[in-house]
Structure 1
Amino acid sequence: MTADTTPTQTATGPGGAAPRRGTAPGADAVRRAELAAFLRSRRERITPEQVGLPRGSRRRTPGLRREEVAHLGAVGVTWYTWLEQARDIHVSPQVLDAVARALLLDRAERSHLFALAGEADPTPGRECGGVTRELRQMMCQLEPFPAVLQNSRFDILAYNATYGRLMCDLDALPEEDRNCMWLAFTHPEWRASTVDLDATMRVMAAKFRASMAEHVAEPAWKALVARLTEASPEFREIWAQHEVIRPMSAVKLFRHPRVGVLQLSSTSLWTGPNPGPKLISYTPVDEQTRERLERLAAEAAGLVTA
């Protein structure tokens, strides 16, 4: 059984598809042409042997034929042909996924394919596949100020020693639990360290919902919502209210069990296109907080006994 066997063009008249909101006239045509060229280039580099097909004696096409890609991806031949001809047709994420697999695209190529098609990848990788040495050095140089690298899903990708002891021992947590939403709604020590927990949970859930609008088709986002819904009655209640809020900086209060209350101002530095990973640093509001941060940093470095 094949997918999208009947191509569907947008009924827009002789002028073709109407330009997307916020794009210049003709921008969609340029994007479709780039997508078509990209698909042809990926198809032509793959040999039949790579995908288990016989070469045959009369092959003149470099790489795979269009019908072979369609067969491997279980999509319609006419549809795929139109796609390579830059026709104005609807491209579903499921079919793009099938084409990406048929063309043996790597992670970078797959991301490029979905970006050109203007669709969300239904099986994305992590937003930040790796944290650069330079970013880690930057976070270390911010000591004793806490610093964390976080993506728009609130996953904690990296952090310095002070942040690692600010609300709980992050090093002791499994990687799948290193998410600020999960910790705020389920981790007792993290929750105890947040002075105004109720307001914080509502603001975080509202920010998360606003960010999720661009990722509604992505399994990782849906899986986190499902996990929180099952684990936290508070999350279920707040999430049902559909509140949204834009990211903003504010003074945050933390209650550390050994150094006391910390008043910190947060600053976010985007490391890539918004809303990609961002570096969040926390600076002390007063001298007392600065002294307490220095004690916490020394403790995290093992210079003092906890």
Structure 2
Amino acid sequence: MPKQPDQRRELSAFLRSRRERITPEQVGLPRTGRRRTPGLRREELALLAGISATWYTYLEQGRDIRASDQVLDALAAVLRLDRHERGHLFQLAGHAPAAEAEEPEPLAAEVAAVPLLLQPNPAYIIGGTYDVLSYNQAADELFPHLIAAADRPANFARWVFLEPVARDVVVDWEPEARGLLARLRTLAGHHPGDARYTRLIDELKAGSPEVSAWWPRYDVQARHGGRKRLRCPGRGAVDFTYTAFHLAEQPERTLVIYSDAGEPAG
């Protein structure tokens, strides 16, 4: 299937961002003279990957050409992509079917009720663009002002980057925010041209200097569980564990459950 123009632009931006992060020394090349570009030159990457420099230039320019699995594997190896980045590269190159745009239909009543059943553990369900589709009282209390606007769905990405209280609640704000943006970037790459992602990302860029600075880095990451330190009223910074479950028939909709990991972290 031919790649769409938006998808080719995404592939171009991704390749360029990763090429600029690899230094000649990292791949055993001598640093010679003044370099006008950070990282590897296109011809250096092509040489190391065993492909034509002209052909690679066309690929990075977003021309409508198709790379084989072998070429993508070689590029991923030279660029030192991790598992998620490699999967993202193959997705953008058209080697995996792009996910269909998620319909903005409401959750089934029995699904929307799940966070309520998990009270007093904070729990919510988010969609692919981080809209909060269902939540319980504990989640509302843990993330103040998340459920605020009556004219549009609450959105976790919007809360993290545009709601001032988030920087106080999320103790390790910068690494957490970088991770969230990387996960949003991954999801947006699965939906090239989807206006829902474009609108959200434009809003975040306009309102957050961090998003404007970090978005061109093209970090990607899959949704996952983990640990997070959150500041709770009267308790200080508390360690929470959180687990993410994807809905069986709508895998981009995710149930997230938090549990107190123990005593206040200080």
Task: Judge same fold: TM > 0.5, yes or no.
Answer: yes
**2:206 corresponds to which residue?**
230
Look at both structures and tell me which one has the larger radius of gyration over its CA atoms.
1
**1:245 corresponds to which residue?**
221
| Equivalent residues, number | 170
Question: Is the partner of 1:163 in helix, strand or coil?
Answer: helix
Contact 2:121–2:258 (8 Å) recurs in 1: yes
Aligned equivalent of 2:119, options 143, 154, 163: 143
CA distance in 2, matches of 1:194, 1:130: 29
TM-score (norm 1): 0.51
CA distance in 2, matches of 1:185, 1:170: 11
CA distance in 2, matches of 1:256, 1:204: 21
Q: CA deviation at 1:160?
A: 0.5
Aligned equivalent of 1:183, options 148, 159, 162: 159
How large is the Cα RMSD of the aligned pairs? Answer: 2.4
Q: CA deviation at 1:152?
A: 2.0
Percent identity over the alignment? 22
CA distance in 2, matches of 1:170, 1:208: 18
Show the 5 A alignment for 1:98-113.
Answer: none
Say whether 1:155 aligns with 2:131: yes
Contact 1:251–1:265 (8 Å) recurs in 2: yes
**1:215 corresponds to which residue?**
191
Task: Give the 4+ runs in structure 1 shifted more than 6 A.
Answer: 118-122
Q: CA deviation at 1:142?
A: 1.1
CA distance in 2, matches of 1:272, 1:226: 30
Question: Is the partner of 1:266 in helix, strand or coil?
Answer: strand
Question: Is the partner of 2:152 in helix, strand or coil?
Answer: helix
Question: Is the partner of 2:237 in helix, strand or coil?
Answer: strand
Structure having greater relative contact order (Cα 8 Å, sep ≥ 6):
2
Say whether 1:132 aligns with 2:122: no
Contact 1:272–1:278 (8 Å) recurs in 2: no
Contact 2:123–2:255 (8 Å) recurs in 1: yes
CA distance in 2, matches of 1:217, 1:169: 30
**1:101 corresponds to which residue?**
none
Contact 1:147–1:279 (8 Å) recurs in 2: yes
Contact 2:98–2:190 (8 Å) recurs in 1: no
Q: CA deviation at 1:260?
A: 2.7
Contact 1:147–1:280 (8 Å) recurs in 2: yes
Please give the per-residue CA displacement for 1:78-114, whole angstroms capped at 9, x wherever unaligned: xxxxxxxxxxxxxxxxxxxxxxxxxxxxxxxxxxxxx
**1:166 corresponds to which residue?**
142
Please give the per-residue CA displacement for 1:156-196, whole angstroms capped at 9, x wherever unaligned: 11101100111213343335361111111110112210000
Q: Which amino acid aligns with 1:168?
A: P
**1:17 corresponds to which residue?**
none
Q: CA deviation at 1:139?
A: 1.4
Question: Is the partner of 1:172 in helix, strand or coil?
Answer: coil
CA distance in 2, matches of 1:253, 1:261: 6
TM-score (norm 2): 0.58
Please give the per-residue CA displacement for 1:229-286, whole angstroms capped at 9, x wherever unaligned: 1111111001011111222221111012344322111111111346421111011212
Q: Which amino acid aligns with 2:196?
A: A
